Structure 1
Amino acid sequence: MVIYKVVRFGCREKSNISMLVRVLFRGPEILYGTHCWGALLTKTASRPLFQLSRSISSHPISRFPVPERSKLPEDIQEQMDEVEEKSGFLPNVFKALAYRPDEFRAFFSYYDAVMNREGSKLSKADKEMIIVATSAANNCLYCVVAHGALHRIYSKNPIQSDQVAVNWRCSDIDDRQKAILEFAIDVCQARPITEQHFEELANHGLSKEDAWDIGSIAALFALSNRMAHVTAMRPNDEFYLMGRVKKEKSK
């Protein structure tokens, strides 16, 4: 007989670090439903996460219908093909948001404008760190997993990435990064924004232009987090290993 137990956790409890270790190495099966990040169903004697569970893969990627790619508008098909060719797989966010093509176009157009703005002084690692921390605060499993993978790759520091996902205040980040996340989390949680925020950023070489970038990313992913929650969006299995194991070179 297989025995299951349900565990719940958020990003603020000290016990979460040990919980993360259990999740990574005991092999969680995600319990999708009312709480996107907070509920996990774990087997007491299951295999490691690195041996990805078929039960995760077989779960629907969205609670809404996912359109057949061949029936989507041509421009969306081309965008999907381009992403899949570059990444080696198509992230489920593209499939799920294709349910409404006009919103798909608007979302990814704004994503490109915010995340790929020319002249931004934020590094790719900075941007992904903001997404991971604010998505954890918003209990968004999809964005924590997907952008945690990108943060591991850009930062080349998988330990720091996992720490930020669990509790960024206890993570091994420097003072500049802490100032960035202090501001991003306050934007994410709609707390009052004061001149003190901008002064603290300036103390670490960050201008008001940089503050706009930080705020834009936090705001964009507040939308993304909530849509992932509404749709019960499932992260692709590929994300869990990215930045943890070396990618095999094609011969």
Structure 2
Amino acid sequence: MVISWLRVPEEAELSEEVRELFARLREKTGFVPNVARAFALSPRFLLWFWYYDQLMRGEGLLTREEKEAMAIAISGENRCEYCVASHKRYLKDLTGDPVLPEVLAANPRRADLPPRTRALVDFALKVTHRHHEMTEGDLRPLREVGLSDEAILEAAEVAAMFNFTNRLLNALGFKPNPEYYHAP
């Protein structure tokens, strides 16, 4: 199966550090995500992976569910097949809700969300489509639902990370693992 339009290195070619990461991923999920396999072509991959992992899975002020909702909404708008598939799977696993991830991917504006998550998703959509028009007033809805400036910074990081990653994966033809579609 082709997972990228670029050459995907064989594991034997990779540094010990990357092979160790792949082993941890296999142990945790049962497979190596194609994004890791394709990004391994660049030594900078470990920096991206570290930042992504800290932002999405590390300690933060936003919940994992909120960040996944933002990721799906952004990735759906950007038509990133890889991120839509993988993050829908993650949100389904986190919430047990098979419908919400589908609605977020198809039309996030119609998703039934708690007020805080709605404010975060709306903010993420503006960052995605009209970032150049943003003003300080765009932070008001986030503050009104109780988000601190630190949490708002985290939300902006999530929005920027997914807009960056969606564009990179789309530009290089990354394909999602079948496991994202067939997980229990």
Q: TM-score range by the shorter chain?
A: over 0.9
Q: State the match for 1:216 in structure 2.
A: 157
Q: State the match for 1:5 in structure 2.
A: none
Deviation at 1:106, TM superposition (A): 1.7
SS of structure 2 residue aligned to 1:79: helix
User: Which of 40, 56, 68 in structure 2 is aligned with 1:115?
Assistant: 56
By relative contact order (CA 8 Å, sep 6+), the higher-ranking structure is: 2
Amino acid at match of 2:55: V
Q: State the match for 1:185 in structure 2.
A: 125
Distance in structure 2 (CA, Å) of the matches to 1:209 and 1:123:
14
- Kindly report the root-mean-square deviation, in angstroms, between the aligned alpha carbons of the 2 structures: 1.4
Give the share of equivalent positions with the same residue, in percent: 33
Amino acid at match of 2:37: K
Distance in structure 2 (CA, Å) of the matches to 1:193 and 1:154:
31
Amino acid at match of 1:76: V
User: Which of 139, 148, 162 in structure 2 is aligned with 1:207?
Assistant: 148
Distance in structure 1 (CA, Å) of the matches to 2:132 and 2:79:
17
Q: How does 1:6-45 map to 2 (within 5 A)?
A: none
Deviation at 1:114, TM superposition (A): 2.1
Q: How does 1:87-236 map to 2 (within 5 A)?
A: 87-100=29-42, 102-118=43-59, 120-189=60-129, 190-236=131-177
* Higher radius of gyration, 1 or 2: 1
TM value normalised by structure 2: 0.93
User: Which of 2, 9, 16 in structure 2 is aligned with 1:74?
Assistant: 16
Extract unaligned runs of 5+ from structure 2.
Answer: none
Deviation at 1:103, TM superposition (A): 1.9
- Larger helix percent: 2
Deviation at 1:156, TM superposition (A): 2.0
- 1:163 and 1:171 in contact (8 A); partners too: yes
Q: Deviations over 1:91-136 (max 9, x none)?
A: 1001110111x22112112213322443x22111111111110111
Q: Deviations over 1:6-33 (max 9, x none)?
A: xxxxxxxxxxxxxxxxxxxxxxxxxxxx
Asked if 1:61 is matched to 2:3, the reply is yes
- Larger strand percent: 1
> What is the number of residues matched between the two proteins?
183
Distance in structure 1 (CA, Å) of the matches to 2:134 and 2:57:
25
Q: State the match for 2:179 in structure 1.
A: 238
Moved more, 153-162 or 139-148: 153-162
- 2:57 and 2:64 in contact (8 A); partners too: no
Distance in structure 1 (CA, Å) of the matches to 2:75 and 2:84:
6
- 1:115 and 1:127 in contact (8 A); partners too: yes
Distance in structure 2 (CA, Å) of the matches to 1:183 and 1:138:
15
Q: Deviations over 1:23-58 (max 9, x none)?
A: xxxxxxxxxxxxxxxxxxxxxxxxxxxxxxxxxxx4
**Regions of 4+ moved over 6 Å:** none
Extract unaligned runs of 5+ from structure 1.
Answer: 1-57, 246-251
- 1:149 and 1:241 in contact (8 A); partners too: no
